[in-house]
Chains A and B, each alone.
Chain A
Amino acid sequence: MKLLFPSIGYDRLRMETDGEGVTTLVCAQGCPLRCKYCINPESSCNRGKPRHLFTPESLYNLVKIDSLYFLATGGGIMFGGGEPLLYVDFMEAFSKLAPDFKIYCETSLWVNPRQIRKAAEFVDHFMVDIKDTDPEIYRAYTGKEFQRAGENLRLLLSLVGADKITVRLPRIPDFNADDHRDKSEALLREWGITRFDRFDYIIKEKNQ
């Protein structure tokens, strides 16, 4: 079966925003969540034909132009989206074509546990966008239940360890505040998470 990765686009020469070194971000089309302030709404499944449809080989041929920078700085490819773990088999095949590239993954973890187990074998670092650990807030913002994401995070922690996971804790206007983030961080620290990335969402108005 041919492995394909529908993509809404890619961004070259990112510097230490996705992890160590110079990276290329490749964004998947398709996501199980329906976040109100999604940064890439075109990544939703019902947005029609993807901008690119990659095979592992075609993606490698595209990104290898920056291989000198990847090798020099310890960088590589960041799979984001959308939800890249929907295409974990593709990612695995790609990682075998580019064993010298670091593989990073930005994910909500709202996927099947099988996909988590597979990704744990080859992904070098996970950026987990957990939104908020409060189930009410999570459901209100994403339209889905927190339980699956929480269970998958604990599974991932048991598979790869805390050093390979950074949990993103956004302050989302109209949905959570600093005390919610503090509670989320406290809970996640109890679970064993040690790396956090706290940041604020700033809502861009339609006419700006």
Chain B
Amino acid sequence: MTGKEKCKALKKLRAQIADANEIQWVTEECPYEGECPGTCPRCEEEVRMLEEALECRRKEGKSVVKSGFSVDKKFGSEEKSDAKVETVSNSTETDGSEDAQIAPFAPGSPLMGVPAWNMPPHISENKPKVFLLEKQQNEDACESTSREEKPRRGWLSRWFGSGKRNRKGKKK
């Protein structure tokens, strides 16, 4: 399963969780076309927002559906044969550093201990995007009600600003 396929499967899973909990969920398709580990700060921001929405729902006394979902593996690569294979190395012929290329957690591997907050280099190339996430909230239950009427600022704009400048021409 490629990183992109994982990303799609997890995106679909998030949408299923939101749907099961009557959370209105609108996200943009990821524009990045290169290799990725299946997650990125943007995806993880979506997870955080979904968890917040579920917590709001719980505080409102509504039922929260958190289990019973499955990963849609149709986004994964098709099995070409019934034979399963595992690629291994001849450990007696190497000093270990080359063999690390085989294991998924080799040095340099995207998922090798990379903290979730590390931004893949491609992110800085994208223009800040705003994705609208509407929550059905009880005004008394959650503090973030003031965001209901405004498009929610994407996390990128928090880093790169809104592009507006003050009277001295400096960015706000």
Contacts and interface: CB of A to CB of B under 8 A. Distances in A.
Nearest to B116: A65
B83 A200 contact: yes
A10 B113 contact: yes
A15 B69 CA distance: 13
Contact of A10 (B9, B44, B105): B105
A12 B105 CA distance: 9
B88 A11 contact: no
B161 interface: no
A201 B162 CA distance: 53
Interface in A47-106: 47, 51-52, 65, 68-69, 71-74
B133 interface: no
B60 interface: no
Interface stretch (B90-98, B120-128, B139-147): B90-98
Contact of A39 (B70, B88, B98): B88
Interface string A158-172: 000000000000100
A16 B73 contact: yes
Contact of A200 (B1, B76, B86, B103): B86
Given A36-B92, A73-B70, A204-B102, A11 B111 contact: yes
A37 B13 contact: no
Interface in B99-137: 99-100, 102-106, 109, 111-113, 116
Contacts of A25: 104-105
A9 B88 contact: no
Contact of B67 (A10, A74, A197): A74
Contacts of A21: 70-71
A73 B86 contact: no
Interface residues of A, number: 41
A15 B94 contact: no
A21 B67 CA distance: 11
A32 to B, nearest CB: 15
B70 to A, nearest CB: 6
Given A38-B88, A39-B88, A72-B66, A11 B9 contact: no
A52 B44 CA distance: 23
A15 B1 contact: yes
B27 to A, nearest CB: 15
B4 to A, nearest CB: 12
B96 A11 contact: no
B6 interface: yes
Given A11-B111, A41-B94, 19 more contacts: A8-B105, A10-B113, A11-B105, A12-B111, A13-B6, A13-B39, A13-B111, A15-B1, A21-B70, A27-B103, A39-B86, A39-B88, A39-B89, A41-B96, A41-B99, A200-B84, A203-B87, A203-B90, A205-B90
Interface of A: 8-13, 15-16, 21-22, 25, 27, 35-42, 47, 51-52, 65, 68-69, 71-74, 170, 197-206
25 contacts: A9-B106, A12-B37, A13-B6, A13-B37, A15-B1, A15-B71, A35-B91, A37-B88, A38-B89, A39-B87, A39-B89, A39-B102, A41-B91, A42-B99, A51-B113, A52-B113, A68-B51, A69-B10, A199-B84, A201-B85, A202-B85, A203-B87, A204-B88, A204-B90, A206-B90
